[in-house]
Amino acid sequence: MAHILIVGGHDETFRMIEDLPVELSVFQNSESVTAQQARRAHRLCVFDYRNHAEALSMARELHEVEPVDAVVSFTEHGLMPAAVIKEALGIKGNAREAVRLTRDKIAMREHLAGRDLGAVRTRSCHSASEVRSFLQSVGGPIIVKPAEGAGSSGVLRVSSLDQVESAFACSRGEYPGPTLVEEFIDGPEYSVESFTMDGRHDIIAVTAKTTTGPPRYIETGHLMPAVLAVSALAELRGLVTDFLSSIGHSFGPAHTEVRIGSAGPRIIEGNTRPGGDFIWELVHRAMGRDLVRESICHLAGLPPQSRTLGLGAGCVAFFGYENVVIERVQGIEAARQAEGIIRLQCSLEPGQHLGPLRSSADRQGVIVAVGTDLVDAERRLADAQARIRVETSPLPH
């Protein structure tokens, strides 16, 4: 029986592989560990696995007692520790360089700069004056964001010099360290979901996104599969395939974010993991691809699992109230029972005082719907939303 080490993860990860004949060791942080993970894991090590040195030391000790065959992570902060362990122990897993390039936004931009891979003009800045200089050189709107950020935290669009100081301060306040600035690509935003085995990239779906728009562009919804012209879809598939090959991504899921501007598609970010924001659930339920299960089977040398038939399409919508007091919330359970709703989470409660949305973490819940096609999925989502009544009043000054 293969021995697999999983770094981090949520309960859904372990539910997907509950019945697989593999021996699991799990590294988990104290705030995320659950009883379900403890039941599924043969060994559960609870510590801050984001400390690469400690994670590697723990993995070496584990490997001496019970040799580890492969290591994997499906969560943002576990990717690099898993890659470090993979390289040091010489076991199966995701290539360290591919993970490094996708985790380090500055390294990613430097990598893209010398290649015809949808690069955008960018600069790593350590002062507001450097940001100001870049804005003047670009001559148009730019995006200012922390080089190590996630979830739209600290991200702002800047279009005038008088916005630079506050945007730079916001970025540095969220994540101390270099600030990445890049030209703004004015066009629709998409992500490309894929799975790679032995260096061969299988493009599963393209996801269309809706956001709050400027200045923060916090994601408010997803549609899968995106409605695109055949030529645009082919261009996206080709660009992402070439991009994944260029970074040396040889195994596992990937989630690549792009914008299509006047000069064609441009890569915004790459991630060597399944898409977050419940995109992974759309891939599973709409496209019929369980990327966690497929990954573990491949690493463990198990026969490919028979795939379920996906329903065909799906959509995600987030609760995103801001600058209001929540007075009343009704219809949540009725919406949860609506046709095609596979997930509904809502943290709204009467009496809540909600300020501005500053990152995806400020959203108050989600509805996930699936249908036979996108029209059907959107209809089911709208039906569920129509059953919910949220009464608000303005925030007191």
**Domain contains 283:** yes
Q: Is the pLDDT of residue 152 over 70?
A: no
pLDDT of residue 263: 85
Interval 294-324: pLDDT, tens: 999 999 999 987 777 889 999 999 999 999 9
> How much is the pTM?
0.92
Domain that holds residue 368: 313-394
**Domain contains 321:** yes
**Residues 190 and 175 grouped into a single domain:** no
Residue with structure tokens 């919406």? 335
**Domain contains 106:** no
pLDDT of residue 298: 95
**Residues 192 and 285 grouped into a single domain:** yes
**Residues 199 and 296 grouped into a single domain:** yes
DSSP 57: H
- Domain count for the chain: 4
Q: Do the Cβ atoms of 71 and 4 come closer than 8 Å?
A: yes
pLDDT of residue 43: 96
Write the single-letter amino acid at 342: I
**Residues 294 and 318 grouped into a single domain:** no
Interval 165-195: pLDDT, tens: 999 988 877 667 788 899 999 899 999 999 9
pLDDT of residue 150: 62
Q: Do the Cβ atoms of 206 and 259 come closer than 8 Å?
A: no
**Residues 336 and 358 grouped into a single domain:** yes
**Residues 192 and 169 grouped into a single domain:** no
Interval 14-40: pLDDT, tens: 999 999 999 999 999 999 999 999 999
- Integer Cα distance of 359 and 338 in angstroms: 29
Q: Mean pLDDT across the stretch 249-262? A: 95
Q: Is the pLDDT of residue 151 over 60?
A: no
- Integer Cα distance of 9 and 263 in angstroms: 38
pLDDT of residue 390: 98
Phi, psi of 152 (to 5 degrees): 65, 10
Chain-wide mean pLDDT for the chain? 93
**Domain contains 115:** no
Interval 257-291: pLDDT, tens: 999 998 889 999 999 999 999 999 999 999 999 99
